[in-house]
């Protein structure tokens, strides 16, 4: 999320953004309620996610477009980043249940997004999941 936000704001090369993120992981835990060391990073997943969302960014936006009620450019950068990540996970990480993908995006939107941004993220990803993971949703008793 931080990386996509930075990518949208700065236009820096993707590799530079990822390197900065990895270097700054300790700075992200300065909150008193958080441990001084960041949680262990799943580097393989992080790399796959970053490469996926950056190389497929426009395709992922197109995947989201039918379920967004406004211009994708008009979305707040945090919500847009979370939606792109969610669309990538729903598309490529079938090992992650659709509900987990949506719940993680919603929780991040509650912390970092705008007022009621989490509701928007939830609604959009729920519709995207209904298109991309219809069988999984049916098997879980949804739709």
Q: Which long-range contacts (CB under 8 A, 24 or more apart) does 106-114 make?
A: 108/1, 108/82, 109/78, 109/79, 109/82, 112/1, 112/78, 113/76, 113/78, 113/79, 113/82, 114/76, 114/78, 114/79
- Residue 6: inside a domain: no
Is the confidence at residue 60, as pLDDT, over 90? yes
**Segment 81-123, tens digit of pLDDT:** 999 999 999 999 999 999 999 999 999 999 998 889 999 999 9
- Residue 19: inside a domain: no
Q: What is the pLDDT of residue 117?
A: 93
Whole-model pTM? 0.81
Is the confidence at residue 128, as pLDDT, over 90? yes
Residue 9 has φ and ψ, to the nearest 5°, of -85, -35
Cβ neighbours around 25 below 10 Å, total: 13
- Residue 32: inside a domain: no
Residue 107 belongs to a domain with what CATH number? 1.10.940.10
- Residue 16: inside a domain: no
């Amino acid at each position: 999320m931080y990386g996509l936000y930075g990518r949208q704001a700065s236009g820096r090369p993707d590799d530079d953004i990822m390197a900065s993120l990895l270097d700054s992981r300790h700075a992200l835990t300065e909150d008193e309620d958080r441990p001084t060391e960041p949680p262990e990073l799943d580097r393989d997943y992080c790399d796959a996610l970053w490469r996926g969302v950056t190389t497929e960014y426009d395709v992922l936006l197109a995947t989201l477009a039918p379920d967004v009620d406004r211009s994708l450019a008009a979305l707040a950068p945090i919500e847009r980043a979370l939606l792109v990540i969610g669309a990538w996970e729903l598309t490529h990480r079938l090992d992650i249940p659709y509900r987990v993908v949506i719940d993680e995006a919603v929780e991040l939107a509650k912390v970092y997004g705008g007022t009621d941004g989490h509701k928007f993220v939830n609604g959009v990803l729920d519709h995207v999941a209904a298109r991309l993971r219809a069988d999984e949703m049916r098997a879980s008793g949804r739709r």
